[in-house]
Structure formats: C-alpha cells, structure tokens
Amino acid sequence: MSRICELTGKKPITGHNVSHSNRKTKRWFRPNIQKKRFYIPEEDRWITLKISMSALRTIDKKGIYEYLKEVEKKTGKKYLQA
C-alpha cells in the first residue's frame, strides 16, 4: 500500500534524527494514512479512499461531497460521477 493521500497528495518526506551530541541519522516522516469508506448520498453510492487524517478532519467540517468537488476542481481527478 503506497503511503500517499488520494485527496491532499501528502506523502512521506525525509529528515534527520538529531541526537544530543548533534549526530544526524536519516529518518522518514510518514503521514497518517488510513483506508476509509464514505457514503455519498447525492450519488447514492459508497467510495473507498486512502486519506490522511488532516483530509478526514476537513471532510468532517465541509462534508464529503463538497470536499470532493473542491479536489476535482483543483486537481482534475474524477471522484464523482457526472
């Protein structure tokens, strides 16, 4: 399973662990990606998305239909049926 949010595009980035003596070792910062099923009442269907928790909070705030319309306008990817 790739660790990329389907809606926001968040993906792992690299950085350093820094010890007390200031030695640096490579590490990954991974987004909190979860698989979630959503019901879209306007289309009367279910969709499954791999999304970050920040995207889930935005969906809770705006609603799935409005958020998907926003993402489609911004990215051009189709999530809703026309």
- Domain coordinates in residue numbering, the chain: 13-75
The pLDDT value recorded for residue 81 is: 83
Summarize pLDDT for 17-70 with one digit per residue, the tens: 999 999 999 999 999 999 999 999 999 999 999 999 999 999 999 999 999 999
Residue type, 61: K
Instruction: State the DSSP string of 21-82.
Output: T--EEEEEE---EEEEEEEETTTTEEEEEEEEHHHHHHHHHH-HHHHHHHHHHHH----S--
Q: Please, are residues 3 and 12 in contact by the beta-carbon 8 Å criterion?
A: yes
The pLDDT value recorded for residue 1 is: 61
Looking at domain 13-75, its CATH superfamily turns out to be Ribosomal protein L28/L24 (2.30.170.40)
- Listed in sequence order, the residues at least 6 apart from 63 whose beta carbon sits closer than 8 Å to its beta carbon are none
